[in-house]
Structure 1
């Protein structure tokens, strides 16, 4: 069952897509953090699948401060151009604040446990959600720009799972080395790499989608949430 949730902040209101599990009262919740294409079908499908696994899934419209209601794909040059314009205009700190507001809004409707999972831009935001909010567990898929924020890991107190594509054209080897050196021995962090995989290997229907490694990563994420949000 899906619906739209309005989230109130001092800066204004924004919407979020919500998918609820068919059965069970007060399920654990997961905030799904968008890529650069907005709250599109890919993000809604992720929410629906999480709901099918018994989670209350919510995907906030983090581009609302720039242009509310962005819902585009990775299928045309014009959409890619629009996506990068949004990415370049996006305020990361404000985005984390909006995720924090989403966590606060959804926690009373949940078991009390709230996790977060993000992809691409959302992968960076998931890492910052782990370090700056009271989320109970976070998962980051191929976070872009994460290497610039690894110092924040000293604030990390809750479990974090990282998925890194070894051939990610948006997270080059030098950036990966910074990430690994800073994070691989952190007691709260589990880090998985995927040999031969490029950026967004878990985006179903995307150019670099790999069904086997997407299933592997998604299975690890699901097991992680079932353990940490129980």
Structure 2
């Protein structure tokens, strides 16, 4: 794996690792409670026929983190897609996204990036989930865990020269940051991830701050009626990308005017079938182009 970009790393505080133990050692079963009632009539369920799928352990500097991996059975040298979780962690929806990519011929893997901070599946309130887990996850930790996941994938059937990333909500923001972090990345697809925001020790930079330094083009899929991500912030990001690297300039946005946040999450009331299917088709085309 190529050495991560020093330009981006300079924006992050040093990551001090210890062996105090991981609070999450295995993945959630089913859906995370804080996400609310499951809309069973719209849930997309992808089978494992023809796939190698299930939980794996990813070695990291201070131990190991659980991840869900899906890939065509018996195949190697596969294009790899890192799947970055919503705020709700790696639950059934994220696992199914991995299987969907595996059916397309990719090795898809979703690491549990909150493993040190706690188990998001046990929370019933979003406010407590944010306060006790999400807001305690440093960007530097996430970048390191994604690097470790990419390394694991390369040693277990993936082609390190064809590395992509996609993420949803919380993970959508991470897609942009990882494009500035890892020079080996070839493409990313960010689903309604925040682009601007307040900075602190955990989040010293946001996508708009690193737009000029991106190594891989990112497709941003956003909702015009997303109450938490105004379209004006998409315009701000477009301007930042226009003055950036070749990868930044090659990045693109699709804004669905009537879509809310989390319009791809088929298990939630926010799901919008038409926009979700169109975004999924565009994501496939993006990865076909660059991977």
Common topology (TM > 0.5): yes
Q: Cα 1:63–1:116, aligned 2, differ >3 Å: closer, same or farther? A: same
Q: Which residue number corresponds to residue 111 of structure 1? A: 159
Q: Which residue number corresponds to residue 277 of structure 2? A: 215
- Secondary structure at the aligned position of 1:217 is classed as helix
- Secondary structure at the aligned position of 1:39 is classed as coil
Say whether 1:132 aligns with 2:175.
no
Q: Which residue number corresponds to residue 71 of structure 1? A: 121
The equivalent position to 1:94 in structure 2, one of 125, 141, 147, is 141
Shift of 1:159: 2.1
Q: Cα 1:88–1:145, aligned 2, differ >3 Å: closer, same or farther? A: farther
Q: Which residue number corresponds to residue 166 of structure 1? A: 224
State the TM-score, normalized to the length of structure 2: 0.71
Contiguous gaps of at least 5 residues in structure 1: none
Q: Cα 1:203–1:54, aligned 2, differ >3 Å: closer, same or farther? A: same
State the TM-score, normalized to the length of structure 1: 0.89
Whether the 8 Å CA contact 2:90–2:111 is kept in 1: the answer is: yes
RMSD of aligned Cα (Å):
2.0
* d(CA) in 2 for partners of 1:56, 1:64: 22
Number of residue pairs the alignment of both structures matches: 224
Say whether 1:197 aligns with 2:259.
yes
Indicate the larger mover: 189-198 or 100-109. 100-109
Q: Deviation string for 1:202-229 (max 9, x for gaps)?
A: 1112121100000000100011112211
Whether the 8 Å CA contact 1:38–1:72 is kept in 2: the answer is: no
Q: Which has the higher helix share?
A: 1
* d(CA) in 1 for partners of 2:74, 2:56: 19
Q: Which residue number corresponds to residue 61 of structure 1? A: 112
* d(CA) in 1 for partners of 2:210, 2:271: 30
Indicate the larger mover: 89-98 or 184-193. 184-193
* d(CA) in 1 for partners of 2:217, 2:54: 29
Which entry has the higher C-alpha Rg, 1 or 2?
Answer: 2
- Secondary structure at the aligned position of 1:225 is classed as helix
Contiguous gaps of at least 5 residues in structure 2: 1-51, 198-205
Q: Which residue number corresponds to residue 83 of structure 1? A: 129
* d(CA) in 1 for partners of 2:267, 2:174: 23
* d(CA) in 2 for partners of 1:29, 1:22: 14
Whether the 8 Å CA contact 1:150–1:182 is kept in 2: the answer is: yes
Q: Cα 1:8–1:221, aligned 2, differ >3 Å: closer, same or farther? A: same
